Amino acid sequence: MLDEIRERIANARRIVAFTGAGMSVESGIPAFRGPGGLWRTFKAEDLATPAAFERNPRLVWEWYDARRQNMAKAEPNAGHCALAGLERRAPEFLLVTQNIDGLHDRAGSRNVVKLHGDIWMLRCTVCGREHQDLRAPLPDVPPYCECGRMLRPAVVWFGEFLPPGVWSKSELAASRAEVFLTIGTSAVVYPAAGLIDVAKAGGATVIEINPQETPYSGAVDYSLRGAAGDILPRIL
């Protein structure tokens, strides 16, 4: 089966890889769901919603600052590197990630769409200006903008829209893909997970990589049970 998958990938002109938190588990960054997942210990509605931030910006910022510190220590794993390598050889390649940790960039991926934003970017809650800040820990939380108002992480919280333009770019690439890889995502958060349906409807060969079953496991062309850092270097 792996040979068949390798051949499909090698012959494809347009490839999309869609990644989720499982991609970074082997780099030491916990996922949200499943064993060890963040949503087992923390409540999303207390930390990852606009209402939570309005209620207690300091608490939300402390949580994001702690995650930034953990992510700053993490290194891209063999799976991130394999995807960066695939981008260099594929005629057309787009990486669509739900991850905010920046590890795909650090592994060398260049054509990356960040559906849920980027934890290293800060955005002013009033003037909207965004800038990158890689300091971890931040010297003060909450941090403030030059305009004097509070900054927030430029990530997508539950109930918010995706950043402008990211959906149309991802949807178009998924609809045209010949091979679509879905890696390390529980595929339960929409609209992101809907890209798998878009790819299938467009006729892509869909390959899933995940140690656990997902709602899409029965519907994809190949469902490989295992860790991204182990399987990706073997098929790419």
Residue whose CB is less far from ligand OAD, 14 or 29: 29
Q: What is the CA radius of gyration of the chain?
A: 18
Q: How far is the CB of 205 from ligand OAD (least distance, A)?
A: 19
- What is the rounded distance in angstroms from the CA atom of residue 113 to the CA atom of residue 170? 7
Q: Which residues contact residue 149 at a Cβ distance below 8 angstroms, ignoring those fewer than 6 apart?
A: 124, 125, 126, 127
Residue whose CB is less far from ligand OAD, 17 or 227: 227
- What is the rounded distance in angstroms from the CA atom of residue 148 to the CA atom of residue 28? 35
116 is catalytic: yes
| Catalytic pick among 80, 104, 116, 131 | 116
Annotate 31-56 with DSSP letters as a single string.
-SSSTT-HHHHS-HHHHSSHHHHHH-
The torsion angles phi and psi of 106, rounded to 5 degrees, stand at -70, -25
Q: Give me the residue whose beta carbon is nearest to ligand OAD.
A: 22
Which of 184, 194, 232, 201 minimizes the C-alpha distance to 5? Answer: 232
Q: How far is the CB of 146 from ligand OAD (least distance, A)?
A: 27
Residue whose CB is less far from ligand OAD, 36 or 137: 36
Residue whose CB is less far from ligand OAD, 87 or 118: 118
Q: How far is the CB of 186 from ligand OAD (least distance, A)?
A: 3
Q: How far is the CB of 139 from ligand OAD (least distance, A)?
A: 25
By CB under 6 A, name the binding residues for ligand OAD.
20-22, 25-26, 31-34, 37, 48, 98, 116, 156, 158, 184-186, 189, 209-212, 214, 227-228
Residue whose CB is less far from ligand OAD, 14 or 107: 107
SS3 helix, strand, coil % of the chain, rounded to 5?
Answer: 40, 20, 40
Q: How far is the CB of 36 from ligand OAD (least distance, A)?
A: 9
**Type and span of the H or E element at 88:** helix 78-89
Cite the active site residues. 116
